[in-house]
Amino acid sequence: MPEIGLTLVLLLLLFALLGSGVWVAISLLAVAMAGMALFTDAPLGDVMATTSWGASNSWALAALPLFIWMGEILFRSRLAEDMFTGLAPWLNRLPGRLLHVNILGCGIFAAVSGSSAATAATIGQMSLPELARRGYPEKMMLGTLAGSATLGLLIPPSIILIVYGVATEQSIARLFIAGVLPGCMLVTLFIGYVVLWSLLNPSLIPPGEPPMPLRQRLVRARSLMPVVLLILGVIGSIYSGIASPTDAAAVGVLLALVLSWHSGSLTRKNFVDGLLGATRTSCMIAFILAGAAFLTVAMGFTGIPKLLALWIGELQLSHYALLAALTFFFIVMGCFLDGISVVVLTTSVIMPMIEQAGIDPLWFGIFVVIVVEMAQITPPVGFNLFVIQGLTGIDILRVAVAAIPFFLLLLLGLALVVVFPEIVTVLPNMMGS
């Protein structure tokens, strides 16, 4: 079929550009320009200008830099240290003991960060030295951190869900709410695995701390209150309908600044560093989104997505076969690109297939994010693996091997979401449209 040949030409061009080190956004723009120039008569300059501006001039996109800034502020605060202080006394009796600090700490920080890499770096800086000092096995320390940090992509407010919502014109508030139950499910699977492993290998878990009186544990738990209030302020305001995601992001930044100031970690240097870090990350994502929007329109002019969707339809794949093929495709893509690039790069081609197959785009957004989570701990470009290698100096292959059980747990979570789609859709349906 001609469209298959055309698709292969453009894909080869794209991978050649990415492989040569060209920025993702520039690669997307170049492929879009090549597609339009070679295979259409549309005015290239006009289309690129209007599409890039339209992609950048989106009110929903305003939440992105705010949530990124919130994560940067908290990354430089004492939040992780306070979480360890508050969580540790309650986990001494649970099989696996302080290994669960990685899982619960990542789950909590994911709910106020939105970034997988920031979650891995923040919790890892706090937990790994403490766990190593107490003699916990290296493989479980690294695995629980690598796997649990991926929750930063799924548990709202998730940066990648904002990107997906903007790229596919889905409600960001509904996507956020849809990510809550799958995120809790994955936390439960991770905790269950650590409990089972600890029961099977009791000699590898160091003895617990001396029992702490309930009163003292409650006093320690007070250090969790600021982050709980922050989560309630951001997610609660969205779920209750009081605030849009953009408004909630502004609330989150304000609360994060207050929290950082209250803990004594809000200095002029931290404030400026956080602002500059958020600016760099936001500009990178916005540039990629502009390139992806132009590629989407260019693909529309060439007719590739529609023809591919019809071709997929003619194959008469079942939903499960189509989702299995897409899972493999996204994992392979995730071996070479970061999660945001994977989402924006594939949207223009994948979404017509999804619509043709009658799959709910809201549900598919959570499906994609879980698959991208798996790619975060897959060599050679698993971002979480790089972050943990940078923290510990341990060879990236050792980190990747330690993360394999959590990759398989994410695969199990993905299967559960496919078999029981209500895990994703029940809360958004309760919320209404």
Whole-number Å distance between alpha carbons of 315 and 308: 11
Distance (Å, whole) CA 306 – CA 314: 12
Model pLDDT for residues 40-75, shown as the tens digit of each residue: 777 878 788 887 777 677 666 777 788 778 877 877
Contact in structure between 83 and 106 (CB atoms under 8 Å)? no
Structure tokens at 160: 């990648």
Judged against a pLDDT cut of 70, whether residue 222 lies above it is answered with yes
pLDDT digits 0-9 by tens, 226-265: 877 887 887 778 777 787 777 888 888 888 888 888 878 8
Q: Identity (one letter) of the amino acid at 167?
A: A
Give the mean pLDDT of the chain.
80
pLDDT tens per residue across span 150-174? 888 888 878 888 888 888 888 888 9
48/46 Cα distance (integer angstroms): 6
Taking residues 91-98, report their average pLDDT. Answer: 80
Distance CA 108, CA 111 (A): 5
State the pLDDT at residue 5. 65
How many Å apart are CA 280 and CA 283, to the nearest integer?
Answer: 5
Q: Which two tokens mark 380?
A: 């050679």
Q: What is the pTM of this model?
A: 0.75
pLDDT band at 336 (very low <50, low <70, confident <90, very high): low
pLDDT value for 310: 64
The sign one gets for the Cα dihedral 97, 80, 368, 176 is: positive
- Alpha-carbon distance of 378 to 140, in angstroms, equals 17
Domain ranges across the chain = 59-290+360-431
Residue 1 scores a pLDDT above 60: no
How many CA atoms are closer than 13 Å to the CA of 65, on its beta-carbon side? 16
**Which DSSP letter does residue 52 get?**
H
Using pLDDT thresholds of 50, 70 and 90, give the confidence band for residue 91: confident
Shortest CA distance to 109 belongs to which of 259, 243, 237, 268?
Answer: 259
Per-residue pLDDT at 129? 79
pLDDT of 408 reads: 93
3-state secondary structure of 14: helix
Q: What is the pLDDT of residue 265?
A: 80
- 218, 32 in Cβ contact below 8 A? no
Asked if the model's pLDDT at residue 370 lies above 80, the reply is yes
**Side chain identity at residue 370, one-letter code:** I
* Residue 430 pLDDT level (bands cut at 50, 70, 90): confident
3 pLDDT more than 60: no
Distance CA 416, CA 142 (A): 25
Separation between Cα atoms, residue 87 and residue 240, nearest integer Å: 28
Please tell me whether residue 71 adopts helix, strand or coil conformation: helix
Which are the contacts of 191, defined by CB distance < 8 A and separation ≥ 6?
Answer: 96, 100, 103, 104
Render pLDDT for 20-48 as a digit per residue (tens, 0 to 9).
Answer: 777 777 887 888 888 888 777 778 787 88
- pLDDT for position 39: 74
The first and second tokens of residue 166, run together, are 């903007």
pLDDT of residue 182: 94
Instruction: Count H helices and E strands in the chain, helices first.
Output: 23, 0
> What is the pLDDT, as a whole number, of residue 46?
79
Average pLDDT on 129-135 reads 82
Per-residue model confidence as pLDDT tens digits over 399-409: 889 999 999 99
The structure tokens listed for 34 are: 């090549």
Helix, strand or coil, per DSSP, at residue 78: coil
Q: Lowest mean pLDDT of 82-91, 275-284, 366-375, name the range.
A: 82-91
